[in-house]
A and B are shown apart, each in its own frame.
Chain A
Amino acid sequence: MDCPISIPEKVKKCILTQAGAIVYVQHSDLTNDREFGVEYLVLTDKKLIVAGKNEIICRYDLEDILEVFTDELVGSGRISVKTKTGVFHLVYYSNHLVELFTKAARLINDYLKSHPLVFPDNTVDSFCKKCGSPLPERSCNCPRCVPRIKILKRIVSLTFPYRKSLILLLFVTAAGVILQALPPYLTRGIVDDVIGNGNKDRLIYYTGAMIATGILFLLTRLINIRLSSWISSRIVSDLRSRLHGVLQHLKLSFFNRREPGELVGRIMHDTEELQHFLVDGLPFLIINSLTFIIVGAIMISLNWKLTLAVILPLPLLIFGTSWFWKKLHPLFLREGTIIGHLHSILSESIFGLRAVKACSRENHRIGLFNNINEELASTRIKTQLITGSFNETIFWIMSLGVSLVWFFGARMNGAGSSFSLGDLMAFVGYIWLFYGPLQWFSVVLNWMTHAFSGAERIFEVLDTIPENKNNDKCISLNKIRGKIEFRNIHFSYERGKEVIRGLYFNITPGEIIGLVGRSGAGKSTIINLLIRFFEPDSGSILVDGIPVDKMKIEQLRSNIGIVMQEPFLFNGTIAENIAYGMENVSFDRILQAARAAYAHEFIVNKPDGYDTMVGEGGERLSGGEKQRIAIARAILHDPPILILDEATSSVDASTEQHIQNAISNLIKGRTTIAIAHRLSTLRNADRLMVLSEGKIAETGTHDELIELDGIYAEMVRSYNSVNALQSVVWGG
């Protein structure tokens, strides 16, 4: 693979004559003075060079270099070189390039060790190549380059499954518009024909026609309301289900960056806004557009000169509309953001109620909520103020048009003129029908802006790339034995900030492994990678010799049982929670699993036994009870691979004994990876792996590692001293 980045010709020539053939180039976005600008880190077959736009800044012979490494600074990063004579800083870069420089350092080190080179994918960019805007997500499409009309088209495309009803709606709407245009025409007949010409006998026909038109118009409106309500409710219901479905399949990294309240807001509030627009806004938009066209055509046929007077204020209307649009759009977005924030505070207040009460922070929470609530109120007041002013201004502009019609119309109507009094009366009737839609447009604009902002946020979720589940080449295994291999795994939750740095290990089927390390060493990350909650940046993970990304994700996960520190139970019965994820499980098997998990006794002691509702998140059960239900669930699933993530850390000593017994039953014959802070619980592991700074620092049995007197031995010493201290404090 060729190096993907080019450098200025002048520097290139300079390098080629002085430093050999170019192997790899990475540009920075900061200069050495830490100002925004470009410098180049160039690896040739002889030297490592830092070059500016016009000249070489510094160079190092490859044979003098011991290592190249990156430093994570605050708001930036730095790549440095360690030589026989010391450490030298090469290039600074902003966080946009952290990922690429981390990979560059790895590539240069590989080159120094004569390893095969894997060039980083420089197509991953932080800025849109088309408009130059910064991208809100790594390698996403630039939202600003999506035309607005596309959003409208997407909203309209949501109606496609209901096109038959929609066509009927449009037909009824068109009929309603035509019926609405008839009364002024009939008024003209009464004025000119009945009053002007004295044909009193025709009055009954004109008034009868007026009443019939009114009844028919009422009917079309009723059908219209019924149809539009049904269609919009169906669409929004579909959209909400789709959003919820998409959220279930998104990568966990998506949720890392967002608050739950914000997402709940998107599913509930934004879809409501869209429904509001689809129920009220879109039908009005269609009706009034048709009215505008039909009435405009009738007015031109009556008197085109007078129609010009009506059209005169239109430029003012268009200019005013665009001005107010610009003012309103950010306010609506702000409203959405504040509501999302309010949801977050509300859920924090409810879920964290115990902590709030324990710390007597009720007043602080009330103040926090009130502040944001107040902000929402003031934003809404501002929005209403602008909307209200807009409506009144529009009304005033329209009144101008009416005055102009009276002024010119009255002058046109005279002796010998073809423009009769009936024509003028009809014209005045039509003018409000003509301006009416314009007035409605301002209201629809309000809904449309709300709906567009909501739709943009909804589409952002819908367009997020889901986790790469299965592809056509996925391998399906009948039975997994439980062999696990990690080969040179690198992983970062945030760009360039590696938490796993070149991890290698093998676990044989049935082996019990204890993962040990300080907080943040990467223990839980290993589990997340194994079950593919996250994908590694590089390297491969194999189960039974097959890369996990080549396996069907459902099959992989169904073969891995997980018992977490705080297991999540769903709002249902205890029996349902034990059998969660399995169908047609006999009660007998549930019972056996509960017995093996030492859960049966506490379950039958409850008034509703296995039919006990656990509450939302299992809130009606204690930590130890939840834990044993999770273990029963794992036993029932009978997975060949088992993960115990701090399974006993949140329970007291006597409950821990129950859980330890349950775990002993659970791990028999399974490949088990156990993470525990209580190091005593890992003594029986076949092998302990000690993680430090994203790598395996030590490996061996408990006794071997104690003898080694390294990180593990130090952890055991500090664990024992804390334990001794706790015994003194708690009298244990």
Chain B
Amino acid sequence: MKLRWTRPLSGKGKEISFISSGREYLIIDGPHVLDPHSRAIVEDELEKNYFQPEIIEIICTEVFQGNRYFEVITNKGKCKFVIKNPYTSIRKIPGGGLMIRDVVGNQYVINSLDELSDKSRRELEKIM
């Protein structure tokens, strides 16, 4: 059984879908409807299901041949990734943040642009 947020960008923390072999068996309004024990299990499983490192600092960005290269520090460690088209790969998320999806489908989150350093924002501006 897989657990998925039904609205991972616009409604994280709300509805959760329980899926197996491509079929939904259950949908709940959110973790709050569960008892504390079940809730802890569900939240742990959801945490494992979504790997979305949060970008803390953008070390550098570069545009080359239309590809946008990032070198960043996330809450899960340092990493490099590349995106092709900022229009399709970068999406705004509630709270003034961004979700960036690289060419292989890895996801990176900036929770709030305001919390980024000036240097990180400048690097981001270079490729946006």
Q: How far is the CA of A126 from the CA of B21 in the complex (A)?
A: 29
Determine if A74 and B107 form an interchain contact, defined as CB atoms under 8 angstroms apart.
yes
Chain A residues with Cβ below 8 Å from B126 are 330
User: Which segment, of A55-63, A136-144, A722-730, faces chain B?
Assistant: A136-144
Q: Judge whether A34 and B104 touch: CB under 8 Å.
A: no
Residues of B within 8 Å of A34, CB to CB, are 48, 51, 76
Contact of A30 among B4, B51, B62, B69 (CB under 8 A): B51
If the complex has contacts A34-B51, A35-B77, A520-B22, are A337 and B82 also in contact, measured as CB distance less than 8 A?
A: no
Contact check, A134 vs B105: say whether CB atoms are below 8 A apart: no
Within 8 A of B (CB), among A398-453: 453
Give residues of chain A (545-561) contacting chain B, Cβ–Cβ below 8 Å.
none
Q: Bits for A372-392, please: 1 = Cβ < 8 Å to B, else 0.
A: 000000000000000000000
**Closest-CB distance, B8 to chain A (whole angstroms):** 7
How far apart are the CA atoms of A143 and B66 in the complex, in Å? Answer: 10
Q: Are B81 and A134 in contact (CB under 8 A)?
A: yes
Given A74-B51, A95-B104, A134-B103, A36 contacting B78 (CB threshold 8 A) = yes
| A341–B89 alpha-carbon span in the complex (Å) | 13
Task: Please indicate the chain A residues that have their CB under 8 angstroms from the CB of B80 in the complex.
Answer: 127, 132-134
**In the complex the two chains form, is A337's CB within 8 Å of B76's CB?**
no
Interface size, chain B (Cβ < 8 Å): 40
CB–CB B2/A94 < 8 A: no
CB neighbours (8 Å) of B79 from chain A are 36
Bound form: Cα–Cα A143–B65 in Å:
7
CA distance A95 to B74 in the complex (A): 16
Of B4, B8, B88, B106, the most chain A CB neighbours within 10 A belong to B106
The answer on a CB contact under 8 Å between A457 and B65 is yes
Q: Which residue of A lies closest to B77 (CB)?
A: A36
- Residues of A33-89 contacting chain B, CB below 8 A: 34-37, 71, 73-76, 78, 89
A534 at the binding interface (Cβ < 8 Å): no
Is B85 touching A262 in the complex (CB atoms < 8 A)?
yes
Q: Please tell me which one of the listed residues A36, A456, A693 contacts residue B65 in the complex, with CB atoms under 8 A apart.
A: A456
In chain B, positions 112-128 with a C-beta closer than 8 Å to chain A are: 126-128
Residue A621 is within 8 A (CB to CB) of chain B in the complex: no
Residue from the set B82, B84, B104 with the largest chain A CB neighbour count within 10 Å: B104
**Per-position 1/0 for B15-29, Cβ under 8 A of A:** 000000110000000
Query: A238 an interface residue at 8 Å Cβ cutoff?
Result: no
Q: In the complex the two chains form, is B77's CB within 8 Å of A75's CB?
A: no
Q: B49 contacts which chain A residues (CB < 8 A)?
A: 73-74
Which residues from chain A contact B67 at a C-beta distance below 8 Å?
Answer: 136, 143
Q: Which residue of B lies closest to A341 (CB)?
A: B87
Residues of B within 8 A of A134 (CB): 69, 80-82, 102-103
Return the contact of B52 from the options A74, A341, A453 (Cβ within 8 A): A74
CB–CB A460/B104 < 8 A:
no
Question: CA–CA, A133 to B62, complex, Å?
Answer: 11
B50 to A460, Cβ gap below 8 A?
no
Task: With A74-B50, A75-B51 as known contacts, state yes or no: A333 contacts B77, CB within 8 Å.
Answer: no
User: Whose C-beta in chain B lies nearest to the C-beta of A132?
Assistant: B80
Q: Give bound CA distance, A135 to B63, whole Å.
A: 13
Interface residues on A, range: 35 or more
Does B106 contact A333, Cβ atoms closer than 8 Å? no
> Measured between alpha carbons, how far is A693 from B51 in the docked complex, in Å?
25
B86 within 8 A of A: yes
- Tell me the bound Cα distance from A287 to B60 in angstroms: 38
| Contact status A457-B66, CB under 8 Å | yes
CA gap between A545 and B51 in the complex, in Å: 45
Those of A336-359 within 8 Å (CB) of chain B: 336-337, 340-341
With CB as the reference atom, state the residue of chain A lying closest to B82.
A134
Q: Closest B-chain residue to A266, C-beta based?
A: B66
B51 touches A73 (CB 8 A): yes
Q: Inside 8 A of B84's CB, which chain A residues have their CB?
A: 136, 257
**Contact across chains for A92 and B51 when beta carbons are under 8 A apart:** yes
Interface residue A329 (Cβ < 8 Å from any Cβ of B): yes
Which residues of B lie under 8 Å from residue A337 when comparing CB positions?
A: 66, 85-87
Shortest Cβ distance from residue B14 to the other chain A in the assembled complex, whole angstroms: 16
Task: Please indicate the chain B residues that have their CB under 8 angstroms from the CB of A94 in the complex.
Answer: 51, 104, 106
Residue of B whose beta carbon sits closest to that of A326 = B126
Q: How far is the CA of A460 from the CA of B21 in the complex (A)?
A: 39
Q: Residues of B contacting A495 with CB < 8 Å?
A: 104
Question: Given B2, B52, B69, B103, which contacts A75 in the complex, CB threshold below 8 Å?
Answer: B52
Chain B positions within 8 Å of A73 at CB level: 48-51
Cβ of A37 and Cβ of B77 under 8 Å apart? yes
Q: In the complex, what residue of chain A is closest to B47 when comparing beta carbons?
A: A34
**Cβ of B65 and Cβ of A460 under 8 Å apart?**
yes
- Write out the residue numbers on chain B whose beta carbons fall within 8 Å of the beta carbon of A702: none
Taking CB atoms and an 8 Å cut-off, the chain A residues in 82-132 that contact chain B are 89, 92, 94-96, 98, 126-127, 132
A33 to chain B, nearest CB (A): 9
Chain B residues whose C-beta falls within 8 Å of the C-beta of A460 in the assembled complex:
65-66
Interface check A2, CB cutoff 8 A: no
5 tightest CB-CB pairs across the interface, nearest first?
A36-B77, A76-B51, A75-B107, A75-B51, A95-B104
Q: Taking A30-B51, A134-B103 as given, write out 14 further A-B residue pairs in contact, using a Cβ cutoff of 8 Å, ordered by the A residue number.
A: A30-B76, A34-B76, A36-B76, A36-B77, A74-B4, A74-B107, A75-B50, A89-B48, A92-B48, A98-B104, A126-B104, A134-B80, A136-B67, A337-B85
Can you list 12 A-B contacts (CB < 8 A)?
A36-B77, A95-B105, A96-B104, A127-B80, A137-B103, A143-B65, A144-B69, A336-B66, A337-B85, A456-B64, A457-B66, A460-B65
